[in-house]
Structure 1
Amino acid sequence: MSFSQFQGLFVREVKRIYRNPLVIATTIAQPFIWLAFFGSSLALAPSQFLEEYFHTTSYIEFLLPGVLSTSMLSIGMFASMSSVQDKRFGYMKRILITPTTKSTVFLSKVFGATMRGLVQIPVMVAASIAFGVRFHIPPAGWVEWILALFLLGLGFSGLFLGMTVSSTDWQTPGVISNFITMPLMFSSTALFPSTGFPVWMRDISMVNPVTFSASLGRSIVTTGTDPNLMYLAYLAIFAALTLSLGSLAARKWLKVE
């Protein structure tokens, strides 16, 4: 893979995102709505209940790492939609007749989609402060939390795009996203602790990458302590696996009819 080719395609993906104010607004609004409406649903819950069940007196404090994690889960759909758009408008065909490898095209879209998800972090942190959350996080903690979200975004962008790499149908990314996103979101600890899950759902939660990202962020936000670095290792393995399999899928099935 040529780095200059990857850089050019990656910059194009980023520019496509940040030149469209509506895309940025939508990207930010979705997790903000979750935080504002879903987070406020337990605003009047007794503090004793919150401490016993969520281990914090603020449900929004508990929810913030989970909302950011589920947002990184869903951004993979946009990598798939970008690929479909490029195929339908002829751009992909022009790229594939150059020496640029299919893996380079795949990786540029994955990293571009992940950057789209990262723009949510400062906005959501600011919103949570407005809702009363107070952060006591050392600089290393911020780096570890952002890295965890970055790896989660890479992993799911690679997964989504790898599953839809041969598609030219606008509807396919949305169908795949709905099929994967909802079960993974609700079987993770993004919204609720796993202590209230049935056994079969708890088993899924224990291997769900969203759980690892949400738990790592939550340990930093709610306690200010160093996270379990095994969570980062798990997310790194998940990202490496999906990127490798997605690159193989792109080399085999990425084409323009």
Structure 2
Amino acid sequence: MTHILVVEDEPSLCQLLVNNLGFEGYSVEAVGDGLPALAAHAAHRADLIVLDLMLPQLDGFEVLRILREGKDEVPVLMLTARGEETDRVQGLSLGADDYLVKPFSVLELMARVKAILRRTRPLDRPPLLRSGPFRFDLPRLDARRDGKPLELTPREFRLLEILITHAGRTHSRKELLQLAWERDARPSARTVDVHIANLRRKLGEEQGAPWIATVGGEGYRWVTPVATEPGEGPSGK
């Protein structure tokens, strides 16, 4: 299982990262400073480090410098509240693979994480998912029905990904808001309902045979069994 080390001293953001990365199926460990990060990585080597630059004692720049001077090429995604170009340049010049400036979208974070892992672990191609007439290639953000691509927005795809990767489990509106929207967004439960309605329409749900069920007025779940299959991606050919 892909192991990700999160180095972030802000508790609420740290928990958000842990929850979302864990939901994606990654093994996640979190620490709040640079020295514990180096110790954690030494004890259990990470496949990716999500590294905040502004840490209480040993900052992210120093952590990155120590890793690279030690010939450790673990991929690093920098997180910073600083928007100055010099900070980004310094981090990248020290050997970071990518960066995100706070506040950032959870959708963008997940896309960056997956892109880095695809580049650095090209043989670890996740399987395709099939459910009824649908075929999903999650890393490529590709969803098809009977070979025809579905025109989904990034938010709709994120909601779909949450539902199909945990088929049969009910997700409350609150949980979907936490997992599919960025931390500083202020959507309501009604926002989830609207996006689910649009997603249902694009999936082409037949009357009496919904793919996404409403459960007790509390939340939603994907009701059709999901299976995995190997492959290069849904070509539709």
| Structures share fold, TM-score greater than 0.5 | no
TM-score norm. by structure 1 comes to: 0.21
Higher strand residue share? 2
Structure that is richer in helix per residue: 1
How high is the TM-score relative to the length of structure 2?
Answer: 0.22
Higher relative contact order (CA 8 A, sep 6+): 1
